[in-house]
Structure 1
């Protein structure tokens, strides 16, 4: 009976020791596994290059959408108004040399047919002629003429920053060739007579957009006039600003 009482404590201590050793062994084996799980996964150069390409494609897609929205905001306006200055090499008489004229221009375009609009345009030109020696003592009289024209305008390129348009306008012009002669009839010194004449202009405009509603415009142009029964072929340009409104 005495021996059996001593046996049970020894057995309990042995079982407890084995349990402790087993627990420590499990902890030791689990630590390398957790360490291996926390190590970062290494990627190949091909995988990194693919990730970079995908990021670039997403950036390009967002930029394309933003550009498309800007183009829509810019060119869905129904009306354009423009104004600014102009320059023209004008022929004031059949036997006189060409002169430099400067002035103003203004107009409105209604894009009633998408990229095709109807334009109404007005211009003023002012210059000083050189008539040469004459018995009347009038050598450098000032002249002016005004044009009032209308016709189609076509926008054939629509970009985020740039736009290109072309127009052909026709109408009437009025020439004041005797305003600087002191009452002398202008035809006596080789100038055309005062009066109205047919005018036609053709030009191609380049717009640089400052915003969807505002742009600056440069237009090299040709102006044909019919003063004195003859045809004057004049070259020049206009420069100014464009304001858009009335989004469709």
Structure 2
């Protein structure tokens, strides 16, 4: 009887503990799992913020670069005057019955951009070559010849970039041909060369400038030159390579 009285409280305590602790053990994982499902939200928001900051920084860089390029273009093409000088090449026929020859050239000129992108150019050139006259009774086979041109006309700048600029020109004027200087006094017409004299000249070309600085550039100009020697028309193709210097800000 005494043992049953002491056993009863112990049995009661065990039953109560079994009923209480399992319920708390089952609820514990629920409490632990709830915060884990909410963690990705702050991380995703942080990535979006970083992407937005990066995008804004790139926009600021592009805006500064654009402003810098615009300032460079203004500094480069706000000059009123430019001068150029260099050398070149021309494919020329020294007589109606003779073959084409290669001529080396120099060129120099100045442009006044008095009307914005439209300027007035004065251009001077010299061409030098050796004519092949073939065998003849006079013993003059390879005389030296030369021509000089004095032309002026409009120049139009139709592209203005940071590094590149494009212009086009049409020039007209007079040229002078020396075809008898290498014949030893023999009239050049006797060996089928054009006679010495003046000629109408017309030139057209398009230039590409590479800007080394706002005041300095390198220029390449493929060009066409029409001459009128010996009462005939010569259509000549060539090019000029020049150094360009700009000055006189407007």
What TM-score do the two structures reach when normalised by structure 1?
0.83
Per-residue CA deviation, residues 94-127 of structure 1 (Å, 9 max, x unaligned), is 0100000002000000000000000000000000
The reply on whether 1:134 has 2:139 as its aligned counterpart is: no
Deviation at 1:210, TM superposition (A): 0.3
* Aligned partner (choices 186, 189, 192) of residue 187 of structure 1: 189
Q: What are the within-5 Å matches in structure 2 for residues 22-41 of structure 1?
A: none
* Counterpart position of 2:79: 77
Deviation at 1:42, TM superposition (A): 8.4
Q: Residue 220 of structure 1 is aligned with which of 219, 222, 238?
A: 222
Deviations 1:197-233 (A, max 9, x none): 0000000000000000000000000000000000000
5+ unaligned residues in a row in structure 2: which ranges? 1-41
Cα deviation, residue 47, structure 1: 1.9
- Residue 154 (structure 1) aligns with: 156
Task: Name the residue aligned to 1:114.
Answer: 116
Structure 1 residues not aligned, in runs of 5+:
1-39
CA distance in 1, matches of 2:60, 2:131: 63
- Separation in 2 of the partners of 1:46 and 1:168? 58
Task: List structure 1 runs of 4+ shifted beyond 3 angstroms.
Answer: 40-43
Paired with 1:236 and 1:189, the residues of 2 have a C-alpha distance of 26
Deviation at 1:46, TM superposition (A): 2.0
Q: Quote the offset at 1:195 in angstroms.
A: 0.2
| Aligned residue pairs, count | 209
Select which of 28, 48, 51 maps to 1:49. 51
Q: State the superposition RMSD in angstroms.
A: 1.2
Aligned to 1:208: 210
Deviations 1:18-44 (A, max 9, x none): xxxxxxxxxxxxxxxxxxxxxx99843
Matched, 1:171 2:173: yes
